[in-house]
Amino acid sequence: MANFTYRGRDQAGALQEGVMEADSVNTVASKLGAMGVTPLEIELVKMDQGRSQLQAVADWFHDQVPVTPQDLSLLCRQLYAMLHVGVPINIAMRDIVETFRHQGLVRALLNITENIEEGFRFSDSLERYPKIFPPLFVQMVRTGEETGKMDEIFLHLAEHVEKEAGFKDKMMSALRYPIFMVIAALAAMMVISVWVIPAFTEMLANTGGELPTPTVILMATSDFFINYSVWVVVGIVLLIAAYIAHRKTPEGREFWDRVLLRVPVFGEMSRTGILSQFTRSLALVSKSGVPLSQGIELVAGTLGNLHYENKILEFKARIDEGIPFSQAAREIGIFTPMVIQIFRVGEQTGKIDELLEHVSTVYDREVNHTMDNINTLIEPLMLALIGSLVLMLALGVMLPYLEMIKSAAIR
């Protein structure tokens, strides 16, 4: 792609000038024609090779910065507002792009707008940017194009993106305190082992008596970290590398996703959160007119957990075989009996999308309750962990001194 300057006149005879990114002069002329502008002059903007390469590197870095849910939600709400009052999609896109600072998103929106003006479908243009617009988003827009309800689709998408972002933010906030406490405890143990214990190790060793077991353990731990610190770091790096490599395989990713679901407290919260996301997303696509089977497949890829993704695809396969929705839900073994009963009612009334929203609300309340009380739930575990470390350190340090005092008293 290169930049071209152009001069032309619109249908009213007014002079139009500007810069356009395209792959050839003919493409620029076609785009101007689609805009109702008769080109008078089109010239390639010359750029030295060094600057061109620098721009390419800058564009690559911009593309690596993820688009935030706030940007995506703002885009959806602005499109809803403009489409709702009848503004054409290409004009709406050109107006909206000026409100964003994310260079990767701005460039994508400009290219999408140009594709629309060349005659491409909006959804097909979005599909070219999967890092910004996931398959669920694209399919929703495609459904809106087919039903003529694009404005409503963007309103639903904005609400969906905001709910998902709010849930993730709340989960991260709930996990922040316990993670900090674990890191602080490990850091304190490292500092004591490497700097504090060696300060009195030699003195304790020269007492001549037999050292208590806690003291021996502390001294051995300190010696290990001091003498083998490089190997400890190398081992940690190798373990992390092995984990990353294993997780990149389908089997490894499913294995670690299953492990995550078995972690006390956090596993239950993750399971409930995934099911909440699934039912909420499926309600959204179902309400928007996407066929149920196709919607299940789309939503499965958004869950972020391969184990549950495979379970949901198994769920879809059973429905495709003609098994009733509630029976298929019971057979895959991830939904609670109460939720399965709600699914059964949805089948009987023909209001499965409304019932899915109700189920997602039930799961939301459950996971919100867990997140609100997570500190209370893990406090005993944290106290036991930190208390054990403090007790070990106290015994390791104090017992030798007590023995020395006792020996001195006997003498």
Instruction: Delimit the domains of the chain by residue range.
Output: 2-46, 68-161, 266-372
Q: Say if residue 55's pLDDT is above 70.
A: no
If you ran DSSP here, which 8-state letter would residue 148 be given?
Answer: T
**In contact, 134 and 118? CB cutoff 8 Å:** no
Confidence band, pLDDT 50/70/90 cuts, at residue 246: very high
Q: What is the mean pLDDT of residues 283-312?
A: 84
- Which amino acid is present at 41? E
Q: Please say if the pLDDT value at position 24 is more than 60.
A: yes
pLDDT score of 54: 53
Rg, Å, the chain Cα set: 31
Which among 55, 59, 18, 58 is positioned nearest to 35, based on CA atoms?
Answer: 18
What residues does 39 pair with on adjacent strands? Answer: 8
399 compared with 121, residue with greater pLDDT: 121
Quickly state the pLDDT bin for 411 (edges 50, 70, 90): low
Distance, CA of 209 to CA of 311 (rounded, Å)? 62
Q: Cβ atoms within 10 A of the Cβ of 333, count? A: 8
Decide: helix, strand or coil at residue 17: strand
What class has domain 266-372? mainly alpha
pLDDT higher than 70, residue 208: no
* 246 phi/psi in degrees, rounded to 5: -65, -40
Residue type at 307 in one-letter notation: H
Map residue 369 onto helix, strand or coil: helix
Can you give 254-269 as a three-state secondary structure string?
HHHHHHHHCCCCHHHH
Mean pLDDT, rounded, of the chain: 81
Q: Residue 49: its pLDDT value, please?
A: 45
Confidence of residue 51 (pLDDT cuts 50, 70, 90): very low
Amino acid of residue 173: S
Q: What angle do CA 234, 189, 391 make, to 5 degrees?
A: 140
Task: Supply the pLDDT for residue 387.
Answer: 81
Is pLDDT at 273 greater than 90 in this prediction?
Answer: no
Q: Can you tell me the distance from the alpha carbon of 124 to that of 179, in angstroms, rounded to the nearest whole number?
A: 42
- Mean pLDDT, residues 154-172: 86
Q: Domain 68-161: give its CATH code.
A: 1.20.81.30
Q: Is the pLDDT of residue 390 over 70?
A: yes
Query: Closest Cα partner for 289 from 409, 143, 149?
Result: 143
Q: Can you tell me the distance from the alpha carbon of 368 to that of 171, in angstroms, rounded to the nearest whole number?
A: 9
Sign of the C-alpha dihedral computed for residues 5, 6, 7 and 11 taken in this order:
negative
Three-state secondary structure call for residue 65 = coil
So what's the pLDDT on residue 202? 65
Q: How many CA atoms lie within 13 A of 269 on its CB side?
A: 21
Decide which of 403 and 31 is more confident: 31
Q: Say how many C-beta atoms besides its own lie within 10 A of residue 363's C-beta.
A: 23
Of 309 and 374, which is predicted with more confidence?
A: 309
